[in-house]
Amino acid sequence: MPGSFCVSLTCSKDNTDKATVGFVVANAAVASDKDTMVFLSIEGVRLSQKGYADDIHEAGFSPLKELMDNFVKAGGKIYVCSPCFKKRGLGEDKLIAGATIVGGAKLVEFLSGGSPCVSY
Amino acid sequence: MGEKWDAGELGCGELLIELAGRMRNLAPGQVFELRALDPGAEEDLPAWCRLTGHALVSAQHPVYLIRRREK
């Protein structure tokens, strides 16, 4: 069954529960053969930095880094909101594998293709 | 009968991404035995099979038999 799926994630260490569940659902989507994108914006962009997620481990879930690694390994894409990224002074040289900095047009294009989107 | 896996308490995307990887390693038509204790599995696994095209041969929670799709 073809199709796409978007998870919009606005949290990182300000709400590790949301950040974790966002990637759990993204893993469910990519494991269900959906062309899946996690769109990181607002505080969520911090997750795009190497090492940042290493100490996030919500009770009852796998460590966030493991969830993110599995997502990328399964073919999931991570898009990072450019203005949110720049505002926080984050480093392009510290981007994790599978993450790409994009503008809003990329999100609009993805969703305009008919993709459903869930936000955390 | 083919491979089997005891997923324990794993659920939701954590269960599915591991399951998807294990199903990929099977030959087409091979049946996989999954044991999944997560209460969400009863609804999630039939949905996942519908989404992916694998066949849910039997669902007697917590044991599920899933036949790998042809492609």
In terms of Cα–Cα distance, which of A38, A113, A116 is closest to A79?
A: A38
Domain ranges (residues) in chain B? 4-67
Query: pTM for this one?
Result: 0.89
Task: Tell me the average pLDDT across B32-47.
Answer: 93
User: A49: pLDDT confidence band, cut at 50, 70 and 90?
Assistant: very high
CB contact under 8 A, A32 and B14: no
Q: Which residues of B touch A62 (CB under 8 A)?
A: 14
Fill in the DSSP letter of residue B69. P
ipTM, two decimals:
0.78
Residues 6 or more apart from A111 whose CB is under 8 A from it?
A: A6, A117
- In chain A, the domains with their CATH numbers are 4-119 (3.40.1260.10)
Closest-approach residue (CA) in chain A for B46: A32
Residue A99 near residue A82 (C-beta atoms within 8 A):
no
What CATH number labels B4-67?
Answer: 3.30.110.40
